Structure 1
Amino acid sequence: MSYAFAVTRPVNPPGAEPAITEEQLWKGLQYKARYPSAFVPMITSCKVVSDEGNKLVREVTFGNSPEVVTETVEAHEATIVYFEMNTGIRVTNMVSYGPADEILLTYGFANGIPGVDAGSPKPSAKELNARVGKGVEGSIAVVRQMVKEGKL
């Protein structure tokens, strides 16, 4: 059985400095598509095979695995980035807005969650929220650092 799950985090929670704009977040997600290891430590290598701007194909390896995973990445400015893996897993990064116009970032997984064996029981929503949420928070932290350094 394959699992699906999604987690949302605020991009600019109280006290976070500097505030990240929608444009900066989107540029950060574009950077993440091409240089994912800065955002996803489990990705140990990435080779972009083709890049057509809003659509690219990349080959990545995870951890110590010798297996190369091919991903087709499709961006729909400035809201959604789809990562379609040749393993059947689909990852979605989505920029959205809350009721007070706060910027939110959601990571969604369909047809499986990396790091969760399809044959094992699905972890609880609380456990997945914590685990996947750390990934979203980590990506926001990388974008914030890039903003601080004037890279975005």
Structure 2
Amino acid sequence: MSKLSFAASRLVNPPGVEPVITEAQLWTGLQRKVRFPTEFVPVITSCEVINDTGSKVVRSVVFRGGATAREEVELHEYTIAYFDMLETGIRITNVVSYDEEDRLVLTFSFAGGIPGYDTSASGAARPSAKELNKVIGPGVEHTIQTIRKMVVDGKLA
């Protein structure tokens, strides 16, 4: 069985939620997530940026429990951030897009595995989309909520 791959999307500005996050604010927040992931990803306890060219960041992150990972992050302005975990081959992608009604959407995709959620060794059946969405979706929601709080607090213009 191959390693799990999955994507989950969420509306950035669902009806009634304030303040409305702009595309520029969302992108600025995602750039901050690349360089300061501890503010966005609770399982990351520290991050050292090794190299930063603006569009490519090499970083070393430490996860709760002490595991470390070296990641290369490639940024394509306003649309895509690729997070390549060098030791595992997992690629996490954050995508900014618009739905058919021109509403801003954030998607996280995992290719080649979902950290901490791998069934390949056990031979278990692939979890349902509903189950996987419960694993990935909250991370998307947490990132949006963190960015919204940063907008409220004046940390993102």
TM-score range, shorter chain: over 0.9
Q: Which of 115-124 and 102-111 deviates more?
A: 115-124
Q: What is aligned with 2:141?
A: 137
Q: Residue type of the partner of 1:70?
A: R
Give the total of aligned pairs.
151
For residues 127 and 25 of structure 1, the distance between their equivalents in structure 2, rounded to whole angstroms, comes to 27
Unaligned regions of 5+ residues in structure 2, if any?
none
Deviations 1:55-77, CA, capped at 9 Å, x for gaps: 01000011113x32000000001
Deviations 1:93-150, CA, capped at 9 Å, x for gaps: 0000011110000000000011112324332211111121000000000000000011
Unaligned regions of 5+ residues in structure 1, if any?
none
Percent pairwise identity = 56
For residues 114 and 37 of structure 1, the distance between their equivalents in structure 2, rounded to whole angstroms, comes to 16
For residues 3 and 130 of structure 1, the distance between their equivalents in structure 2, rounded to whole angstroms, comes to 14
Q: What is aligned with 1:73?
A: 73
Counterpart mapping for 1:50-129 below 5 A: 50-65=51-66, 67-86=67-86, 87-117=88-118, 118-120=120-122, 121=124, 122-129=126-133
For residues 68 and 99 of structure 2, the distance between their equivalents in structure 1, rounded to whole angstroms, comes to 37
Q: Residue type of the partner of 2:84?
A: E
Q: What is aligned with 2:150?
A: 146
**TM-fit CA distance, 1:38:** 1.1
Q: What is aligned with 2:47?
A: 46
TM-score calculated relative to the size of structure 2? 0.93
For residues 89 and 77 of structure 1, the distance between their equivalents in structure 2, rounded to whole angstroms, comes to 22
**TM-fit CA distance, 1:51:** 0.4
**TM-fit CA distance, 1:11:** 0.1
Deviations 1:10-40, CA, capped at 9 Å, x for gaps: 0000111000000000000000000001111
